Structure formats: structure tokens, C-alpha cells
Amino acid sequence: MPIYEYTCRKCGAAFELLVRKGKTLACSACGSEDLERHFSLPAVKSESTHALAMRAARKRDQTQAVDRVEAQRAYERNHDD
């Protein structure tokens, strides 16, 4: 059972659907059956894409850590417990 990407020609909503045999396809937003099917691009995993994802995750984690430290400092400045 493949999953396809569709765009509704009536309202413009973009979504994915699991297509089963005999199932009537309809837009998840407006219910229209006037849909345009798109080619889905496969996800490619390699050492370089893994390295890029890890760098992005490290950067995100570092930014979140800085935000947590700043929030803690602001809390401590504003609360005399």
C-alpha cells in the first residue's frame, strides 16, 4: 500500500495519503475529490547526509542549552528565594 503526496485543486491543501485498493480519495481539508498526485522523492541516507544531520542536531542542542541557561539566569535575577 503506497503513500502518495497530493495537492487539492479546489483548496490547495497539500497532504499524503495511504492508498488502498477501492478507496475513494478525497482532500483531508475540504473533502474534494479533485486531487493532483505528485512524485514522492525517496529519503537518501549516506555518510554525508548523516554527518549533516548530526551537525544540525548539535547546533540545535547547543542553541537550546544556551537558551536554558539564559532562562535560568533570568529566573534567578527575578526571584529572591
Average pLDDT of the segment spanning 11-28: 85
Per-residue pLDDT band for 8 (boundaries 50, 70, 90) equals very high
Domain boundaries, the chain: 3-38, 43-81
The answer to whether 47 and 25 have CB atoms below 8 angstroms apart is no
Write down the pLDDT at residue 36: 92
Please provide the DSSP assignment of the chain as one string.
Answer: --EEEEEETTT--EEEEE--TTPPP--TTT----EEEEPPPPP---HHHHHHHHHHHHHHHHHHHHHHHHHHHHHHHH---
Write down the pLDDT at residue 41: 67
Write down the pLDDT at residue 2: 65
CA 48 to chain centre: 21
Q: pLDDT tens, 29-80?
A: 898 999 998 877 666 778 888 899 899 999 999 999 999 999 999 999 998 7
Write down the pLDDT at residue 7: 93
